[in-house]
Structure 1
Amino acid sequence: MPLPSLADVTEEEIAELAISAGGLDLSHPVRRQFLTEMGSKDVQAAPGAGKTTLLGLKLRLIGRRWNPAMSAVAVVTHTNVAKREIQDQLKDHPEAECLLRYPHFIGTLTQFAHQFLALPTCSGLGFEIQTIDTGIFRSAAIKALMGASNTHGWLAGRSGLPIKAPYMQRVRAGAEKIAAVLTLDANNPWTLAPPENLGTGTPTYAALQAVKSSLNARGLFSYEDMMAVANHALQNISGLSQAVAGRFPMLVLDEAQDTSSEAFQMLHAVRDAGSVLQCIGDVNQAILTDGASPAWNLDSSALDLNESKRFGPSIATVASKLGVHRPQQIVSTKEPDSLLYAILFPDGAEHLVPNEYAKIIAKDIGPDGDFWAAGHRRNPSETATKKQLVIGSYFPNLSPSSSAPLGPTLHQAIIQFGWGGCGLDVVEDAIRQSVQHCCDLTDDQQKVFRQGWLLKALDRRLPDLAASLRVWISTYLGSPPITEQEWQAAQIALLAALGPLNPASLKVTTCHQLSICTDPSAPVDVASDRSRVLINVEGANIPINVGTIASIKGQTHDATLILQTAFFNMKPFGKFAEALKATTAKSWGPKESTLLANFYVAASRPRRLLAVAAETSQISEEHRNLMTLSGWTIVDVQAPPTAAT
């Protein structure tokens, strides 16, 4: 069956769409080409280029021309939040609402792989599935690895910790790393994909295979396992790729930069069987911890959507210098220009930086707006032998943001997860908020609960609590409590799961404050991987949100402050200044590429003001002068006076 054609799109139709395009210039040649393109194509879209809006408009054009005699379209992305953003672009537009229903698909890559490939294949492979969840699987894998003493020496060597660190601490750190790669082999899904540099004939591989087999025998699988099964099916079941391509002759991948090589293998198999594959994203926002190249390889015919309406020319120039994966000269259409500040401080004066940032905001913007400070690390490494600058160094009294109301959020998150309305991260945040409400946590426990990914943090510091909470999550996500009685039972079970905490810390005997949700469809509002501080500047309170760079990806702010935080043994802002100085594309090492990709993400968030905070020693006099000439305002923080002895 044919796909709709967009060759007949008229100027009048484009003008009509432009009314609801939020000021997006649809006459831009690249935007116009993508709107009507129905062949395979990559689109490199700069931050603020309006790609989600553009994708929504394209789907509206397709929806207007689609009829039941035509083939279906699949739109895949990475998170339920992104999925809802795309769906929201189509709601209230009757001509496009058909794309929200069968036979079309709008969902995550994981959902696509499960629904159309992996789950139908699993029974044929003999797998009896109880749970498909990477977090639950990894928690069980860590426990199993810790119990497999014949792997301890190898795990300790893989930990990345100094040799002088306690042995079992190194074993634990190694188990956490290896648990993340205990994945089925797509070539032989009954076996373990060999971890890097480990031969399949070694005793260690045999021990890891035994751990993997025992977990799978219990019905525990990860999302990565299901992607391996999906690729195995496409490789080995005759005609399957052609059948999927026939079902979906057009695939659109959003946020392509976040796609794994395994997911691209799946998508390319369907494309090679006859489907159109369009990929849109910003490859320079690919943050890879090992410095590897992104799996998304844009071809030479990729569309370069380099126009941004988010920030002014100053930030556009900075972001262009920081793009390490694919050079792109970002062009700004925003007026007036954005502001650039560099806050330089001597050793020991980092805690004064937030006040300087708040003063800048008060002077240039005012108290109303979305203001952020972000860095790489929230807390120092447990094995650090010298001082590390982390987010907490700048905000020593940081506490989690908990402005969201308690009450139904936990139940609401569980119900919405069941129909794909939110992700596991939202459930985790709802649990974090509930535990903080039900328990009088110690200072050490509060530090753990403030960390970004709750269950990962608990795995490291409170593993018994992590295990009991994972069991609770698995139980109630698998069978969501619907009635009041079922939810009361879930509350009692939650308190039982909190047993590994000091029983004296419980402030309540039941969780009756967490009432059953009466409107599950309402947006879930929970605390997230951020905190908030209020800084008073001449009587005005300046609210500053604080989080990791990873947590602000995809956001837009009024002002963003990039904090110098520990990153391997580098001088982060020395590399930042070096990138700004470069006049041609520069080749960076793996760790440098990862560092600069993080800076690119953070620097491209603000609309009105970008600031960086760095130790004075990180910026040479040459770089300081260059930044001044490039429009940066330098603010020197004075060291606090030392007490007389």
Structure 2
Amino acid sequence: MLPQLDDAAIEALLARLNHGVGQDALVLDEARRSAIKEYQNVHACPGAGKTTVIGLKLILLAEKWSALHQGICVLTHTNIAKNEILERIGTDPAGRALLSYPHFIGTIQDFTNTFLALPACRSTGIAVRRIDDAATANFLEGRLSLPARTFLAMSQQRKISDLRYRFENGALKLDIPGNPGEQTDSYKSMKAAKNAAIKNGFLFYSEMYAIADQLLVSNPAVAEAIRHRFPIVLVDEMQDTSRYQDEFLSRIFPNDAGIKFQKVGDPDQAIFDGMGDKPNESFNGAAVQLQPIPDSSRFTNSIAAKVRGLSTRRINLIGSRADLENAPACSIIVFDDETIGEVLPKFAEIVEALPASNRQTIKVVGGRADNEGGAKPLNIQTYWPAFDRAQSQRTVLPSTFCAAARRCTELASGSVQAHTHLLRQCVVELLRLAGKTYVGRNGKDGPVTLSNLGRYLSEKGTTVRFNRLMAEMVMMEDLPAEHWANIANQLGEVCDVNIGTGDVVPFMVFSELPADLDGEAVLPGNVFSSPNGILMEVSTIHGVKGETHDATLVLETKFGTLYDVQEMLSFLIDSDLERPVFDPEHPKTNPSIRASFMKKLYVGTSRARHLVCLAVHKDRISDVQRQALQEIKGWAIVELPPVPAI
């Protein structure tokens, strides 16, 4: 019999966890208690403490679990979410029992590989060596004939990454890009390259799902065995699960299977719609009923009231963070073609009114990163031309990491934030020299940048050690050679880098002198240094999903003929308006674009604890809208003064 969770069990756990904590004691309202006791699908708003709720539920289940060969299955969309759950339960004596057999905590991909695809491969004699899109594509590329390479290069629609197996009509089918005739050299070369990849154990991520599907169809008893093994299944970050993954899980855990299956996430933050696989319908669908957790400890109720109208699912957003005394008002910065370059400095002026301790993490975000052509594009680069999405335009760095650390130690000038940014950029350089890469949400392998450094470290499970090491370096009073050797070794461990090989060696040697850099040179590529000294990292909205800031500015950007902030002003004023609906079959229609705008701006405006600002062109906000935003919603309207004539 499965463990039954009740209020008495919750109270006993809270008493244990809150012992000696004082004013930081954990308190659960009825919505969170219900999510723990029951198995309804949960819509958790930004900052709702979703991972805490999942962690508490898992600990309670672990305390009562008695089955020796049945376990709890916890599935996540990313390794980051998985690691957050592992960290949450790993420090609890009962929770640690869930880290081993018969339980499973991992990504949907990990689950598919472990219980289906890898056993199927072993049964057919395939020794899997690498499951990785980039590595597999590179392997295939290196084994193509010149005619095959030429054939693929003749069209942008022909990609070597499309040379993969998929499951169709009960069997695995190999897709050959461009469909050349079977008698052509291109066909034969690609077929031979694919055979070599399989023989050497290189497979694409999606191929593991195809192999798993084949196994489920050929041997239905496998799914029955998995259901017996896992009578309880929890899925975290469900909003980012694709339709295919959702349907795949439903084939293994159907609604009538008699198991407990709970999905948790925030469909309002499903901002990857239209970027590849179609979104799921069982959780993100507009008609799906979800149990809401609407109150957030991240931001104030004033912010919640301002951005509530951007909730696609109309969650009654509430903020429980206390307002700061004399905090600046959330503002809408109005610019024109001449003053667009003053938007970031004006935001810095507004941020300066926050207490110093409450303006440590300042972000500027936009929906569009790059110039896309067409008439008068509007993107992040339009506001700040130095923005580089790929971080390829790196600033000047010292020749050694130690020199940067010495600068932070021996120079009294400069803020802690500036010194920390310098150290983090040196870490990015260390990873670049070591050839480390990171697979982003789009499945593509690329360099580790300042924007994804946190996610890289989280996947390594070394975030806490890294942050402690950064703090130690900023606070050091001196740096003898033996101390630097210890720090260098720790950096190598937390970053998964061998500091004794290749180009890494000269970068990590001991230095007697601090780096001689001016104020601009210590900044990473995408940090804007305002005239008043406020440092602000600039990023896409996708790049900050899951983050928490002290203050956030959301820039108006353009997609096609539509401007995101302009399209959302009406919803900021009237939260009862009918919401636009995203159509995955027609993602480029205006209603679908507006629906995407709503989710992106909801993510962007719900990052901040204390201050949210928007930027909009004066031609795209009416006098009626200005008045309503001020008088009804409490926004301050900040008009940039015209540029004086020379």
TM-score, length basis structure 2: 0.71
Residues 401, 528 of structure 1: 8 Å contact kept: yes
User: Which amino acid in structure 2 is aligned with residue 601 of structure 1?
Assistant: V
Q: Could you say if the C-alpha distance between residues 333 and 128 of structure 1 is closer, same or farther in structure 2, counting changes exceeding 3 Å?
A: same
Q: Deviations over 1:288-336 (max 9, x none)?
A: 3528873052375531211222222333234332123x33221223332
Q: Could you say if the C-alpha distance between residues 554 and 141 of structure 1 is closer, same or farther in structure 2, counting changes exceeding 3 Å?
A: farther
The aligned residue for residue 602 of structure 1 is 604
| Aligned pairs (5 A) from 1:187-198 | 187-188=169-170, 190-192=172-174
Residues 364, 552 of structure 2: 8 Å contact kept: yes
| Residue 3 of structure 1: how far off its partner (Å) | 2.8
The aligned residue for residue 378 of structure 1 is 369
| Residue 270 of structure 1: how far off its partner (Å) | 2.7
| Aligned counterpart in structure 1 of residue 636 of structure 2, from 633, 636, 639 | 633
Q: Could you say if the C-alpha distance between residues 248 and 389 of structure 1 is closer, same or farther in structure 2, counting changes exceeding 3 Å?
A: same
| Aligned pairs (5 A) from 1:542-621 | 542-582=534-574, 583-588=576-581, 589-621=591-623
| Residue 361 of structure 1: how far off its partner (Å) | 0.6
Q: Could you say if the C-alpha distance between residues 218 and 550 of structure 1 is closer, same or farther in structure 2, counting changes exceeding 3 Å?
A: same
User: Which amino acid in structure 2 is aligned with residue 327 of structure 1?
Assistant: R
| Residue 188 of structure 1: how far off its partner (Å) | 4.7
| Greater mean alpha carbon deviation, residues 565-574 or residues 347-356 | 565-574
The aligned residue for residue 227 of structure 1 is 209
| Residue 603 of structure 1: how far off its partner (Å) | 1.0
Q: Matched residues, percent identical?
A: 26
| Aligned counterpart in structure 1 of residue 282 of structure 2, from 279, 297, 302 | 297
| Aligned counterpart in structure 1 of residue 231 of structure 2, from 249, 258, 261 | 249
Residues 1:285 and 2:269 aligned together: yes
| Residue 454 of structure 1: how far off its partner (Å) | 12
Long gaps (5+) in structure 1? 156-170, 408-428, 440-448, 459-480, 496-509, 516-526
User: Which amino acid in structure 2 is aligned with residue 107 of structure 1?
Assistant: G
The aligned residue for residue 313 of structure 1 is 301
SS in structure 1 opposite 2:173?
strand
The aligned residue for residue 276 of structure 1 is 260
Residues 73, 250 of structure 1: 8 Å contact kept: yes
User: Which amino acid in structure 2 is aligned with residue 356 of structure 1?
Assistant: K
User: Which amino acid in structure 2 is aligned with residue 637 of structure 1?
Assistant: L
Residues 257, 296 of structure 1: 8 Å contact kept: no
| Aligned pairs (5 A) from 1:205-604 | 211=190, 214-215=193-194, 217-219=196-198, 220-272=202-254, 273-290=257-274, 294-298=279-283, 302-324=290-312, 326-336=313-323, 339-366=329-356, 368-381=359-372, 384-398=373-387, 406=401, 433-434=429-430, 487=498, 491-492=501-502, 511-513=505-507, 531-537=526-532, 541-582=533-574, 583-588=576-581, 589-604=591-606
The aligned residue for residue 500 of structure 1 is none
Q: Deviations over 1:417-461 (max 9, x none)?
A: xxxxxxxxxxxx99962376699xxxxxxxxx9x99997679xxx
Q: Could you say if the C-alpha distance between residues 121 and 554 of structure 1 is closer, same or farther in structure 2, counting changes exceeding 3 Å?
A: same
| Residue 130 of structure 1: how far off its partner (Å) | 3.6
| Residue 607 of structure 1: how far off its partner (Å) | 1.1
Q: Could you say if the C-alpha distance between residues 530 and 403 of structure 1 is closer, same or farther in structure 2, counting changes exceeding 3 Å?
A: same
Q: Could you say if the C-alpha distance between residues 130 and 300 of structure 1 is closer, same or farther in structure 2, counting changes exceeding 3 Å?
A: closer
Residues 176, 187 of structure 2: 8 Å contact kept: no
The aligned residue for residue 95 of structure 1 is 94
SS in structure 2 opposite 1:364?
coil
The aligned residue for residue 469 of structure 1 is none
Q: Could you say if the C-alpha distance between residues 8 and 436 of structure 1 is closer, same or farther in structure 2, counting changes exceeding 3 Å?
A: closer
Residues 373, 562 of structure 1: 8 Å contact kept: yes
Residues 49, 305 of structure 1: 8 Å contact kept: yes
| Residue 549 of structure 1: how far off its partner (Å) | 0.8
Q: Could you say if the C-alpha distance between residues 138 and 530 of structure 1 is closer, same or farther in structure 2, counting changes exceeding 3 Å?
A: farther
The aligned residue for residue 32 of structure 1 is 33
Q: Deviations over 1:209-263 (max 9, x none)?
A: 9847733542332212112222332232131011111111111111011111222
Q: State how far apart, in whole Å, the 2-side matches of 1:393 and 1:549 are.
A: 16
SS in structure 1 opposite 2:109?
helix
Root-mean-square deviation (CA, aligned residues, Å) is: 4.2
Residues 366, 379 of structure 2: 8 Å contact kept: yes
Residues 1:58 and 2:39 aligned together: no
Q: Could you say if the C-alpha distance between residues 136 and 54 of structure 1 is closer, same or farther in structure 2, counting changes exceeding 3 Å?
A: same
Q: State how far apart, in whole Å, the 1-side matches of 2:525 and 2:216 are.
A: 41
Q: Deviations over 1:523-548 (max 9, x none)?
A: xxxx99983233242xxx32212111
Number of residue pairs the alignment of both structures matches: 529
Q: Deviations over 1:346-371 (max 9, x none)?
A: 11422211110111011134374211
Q: State how far apart, in whole Å, the 2-side matches of 1:362 and 1:146 are.
A: 61
TM-score, length basis structure 1: 0.71
Residues 529, 547 of structure 1: 8 Å contact kept: no
Q: Could you say if the C-alpha distance between residues 146 and 268 of structure 1 is closer, same or farther in structure 2, counting changes exceeding 3 Å?
A: farther
| Greater mean alpha carbon deviation, residues 202-211 or residues 308-317 | 202-211
| Residue 386 of structure 1: how far off its partner (Å) | 4.5
SS in structure 2 opposite 1:74?
strand
SS in structure 2 opposite 1:586?
coil
